[in-house]
Each structure stands twice: as C-alpha cells, then as structure tokens.
Amino acid sequence: MELSKEVRQQLLQFQENEITEYHIYKKLAKSIKDPENAKIIEQIAADELGHYEDWKKYTKEEVKPNKWAIWKYYLISRIFGFTFGIKLMESGEKSAQENYGQIREYIPEVDEWIKDENEHENALIDMLDEERLQYAGSVVLGLNDALVELTGALAGLTLALQNVELIALSGLITGIAASLSMAASEYLATRSEKTDKNPVRAAIYTGIAYIFTVAILILPYLLFDNYFLDLALALISGVIIIAIFNYYISVAQDESFKDRFTEMAGLSLSVAAFSFGIGYLIRIFLGVEI
C-alpha cells in the first residue's frame, strides 16, 4: 500500500529519532568508564539502529540524524547523569509516538511493535547503575532538612530580629552547624545499614546538598536590606530548588513529580509559616527590640 504524504512524513520523523538516538547512545557509551553500563548503552544503541532500519523498510529512504539533538542530550547526560539524560530523551520519544493517526492503516502491527521496543529499552535502562542515583536519598535528606529547618529558622529570625545582617549571620551559623550535623548523622546511619553505599560518600552528598541550599536561602539577606523582601525571595528560592530537584528525580527514577513536589513544598512552607508566627509571638512576649 502506497504511503500518504502525511504518513510518510511521520515515519521519516520516527526514523530520524531512531538514528539520532543511535548516535547519542554511541557517543555516551564511549564516555562512560564503567564497562557494564557502557555495554548496556551500546546494546540500546544497536536496538535504535535496528528500529531505524525497520522504519526504512517502509520509507525506502536514508535519513540524517539531528546533530543539535545529539549534542543537547549528550551534554545533558554528561552534566546531570546519563540515566537522567536517557530517560528524558526516551520520554520525549514516547510523547511523539502517542498519536499514530493513519499509521495503523499502513502498519497494523505498529502498536505492538513499538510496545515491544519500549519494553526492551526500559528493561535495559533499568539495568543501568549510576552512582549519583544511588545516593539520591542522601541528597534528598540534605535538601529536605535544609529547606524545612532553614526556611523555618529564617522566617522566625526575620520577624524576631528584623535586621538583615543579624538574620544572615544567625542563618549561616545555624545552617553550617546543621549541615555538619546532618552529614555526620548520614555517615553513621549509612554505616549501620547493610547496603553497598559508601558512608563517607553518603555523608558528603548530604552535606553538600545542605550547604548548597543554605547558601541559596541566605543569599537574599546579603544582597537586599528589606528583610521581608529577603524572606519572600528565600521562600521562592526554596520552592524553585524543590521543583528542580523533584523534576530531576521524577525523570531519573520514574516517580510522580506532582506528589513529591507538593509534599516537600507544603512541608517547607508550613514550617516557615509556623516559625514566622512563633517569631512574632516571642518578640511581643519578650519585648525584644534590636
């Protein structure tokens, strides 16, 4: 059956996606030091090339890869981890495949065919073992504790002290001390667990995540003199951090972004609101004026 112009264009787009992903996987495999991960990615690359050849049987045409997409996903994978890059790329491909339209008329087995392809690729992707995802729990611990504790502390200090320099100083001391405490706690907790995680690395991931969050939340108090504006910017920064990190985890670990984001953001903002009220009451009852 002769392909219509619309169907042919859609098949050529699928074909371009497959050959583009083949080159991305081949490029990634060369940059990965772990031989097992490199072998898995090489296998996925071979599958993508096979898919390209399957589509070509219908289009009878060679298609060039998208060089911009190759570099984009390669750089994303290098910066944020190959698991995140691969799953982000695959999710985009699945979205493009959701509407086949007239393709079923020309290729009746298309749904089952692509389903089998996706299941095979997902099985291979699930076999990947990346260090940064092994310690995602440690990063969550550092981020969550810093966001909950420091947003609460800053909210209380803002109304109690009403002095940006004192608030920044108190927040930094509190944040640095808490980050060291959390890192030590994560070290002891990981050491007592029967896992493959290295306790020192787990502690480092937790500590770095905590310090990073502290720095972002304190920054407005070092830049602006209006403490209410500083608190608002700190809370907005906290929500942005939560959104970015939870998007990363939702893609890399196939979890719900909405549920994770709502839980973390709701907890942090609730503690901040409660602490703000506590700071106001303490200032009134103690008669503190600075």
Please check whether residues 123 and 136 belong to one and the same domain. no
Q: State yes or no: pLDDT of 241 exceeds 80.
A: yes
Q: Which of 23, 39, 20, 9 is nearest to 93 (CA)?
A: 20
Q: Which domain, by its residues, includes 228?
A: 132-286
Domain edge (last residue) among 129, 145, 169 = 129
pLDDT for position 193: 73
Q: State yes or no: pLDDT of 21 exceeds 70.
A: yes
Please check whether residues 156 and 278 belong to one and the same domain. yes
Please check whether residues 37 and 176 belong to one and the same domain. no
Please check whether residues 150 and 276 belong to one and the same domain. yes
Please check whether residues 194 and 92 belong to one and the same domain. no
pLDDT for position 94: 61
Please check whether residues 146 and 96 belong to one and the same domain. no
Q: State yes or no: pLDDT of 135 exceeds 50.
A: yes
pLDDT digit string (tens) for 116-133?
Answer: 677 767 776 776 666 666
Domain edge (last residue) among 104, 129, 154 = 129
Please check whether residues 28 and 155 belong to one and the same domain. no
Which of 69-83, 97-111, 136-150, 269-283 is predicted least confidently?
Answer: 97-111
Q: Which of 166, 175, 150, 163 is nearest to 238 (CA)?
A: 150
Q: State yes or no: pLDDT of 68 exceeds 90.
A: yes
Please check whether residues 118 and 159 belong to one and the same domain. no
**Average pLDDT of span 265-286:** 71
Q: Which of 85-89, 223-227, 265-269 has the highest mean pLDDT?
A: 223-227
Question: In sequence order, what are the residues at sequence separation of 6 or more whose Cβ sits closer than 8 angstroms to the Cβ of residue 33?
Answer: none
- CA dist 210 and 290 (Å) reads 29
pLDDT digit string (tens) for 99-115?
Answer: 555 576 677 667 766 77
- CA dist 284 and 287 (Å) reads 5
The answer to whether 45 touches 25, Cβ cutoff 8 Å, is yes
Please check whether residues 222 and 118 belong to one and the same domain. no
Domain edge (last residue) among 129, 144, 163 = 129
Q: State yes or no: pLDDT of 290 exceeds 50.
A: no
Mean pLDDT of the chain: 80
pLDDT for position 127: 67
Please check whether residues 161 and 280 belong to one and the same domain. yes
Please check whether residues 177 and 282 belong to one and the same domain. yes
The total of structural domains in the chain comes to 2
Please check whether residues 91 and 225 belong to one and the same domain. no
pTM of the entire predicted model: 0.70
DSSP string of 20-54?
Answer: HHHHHHHHHHHH---HHHHHHHHHHHHHHHHHHHH
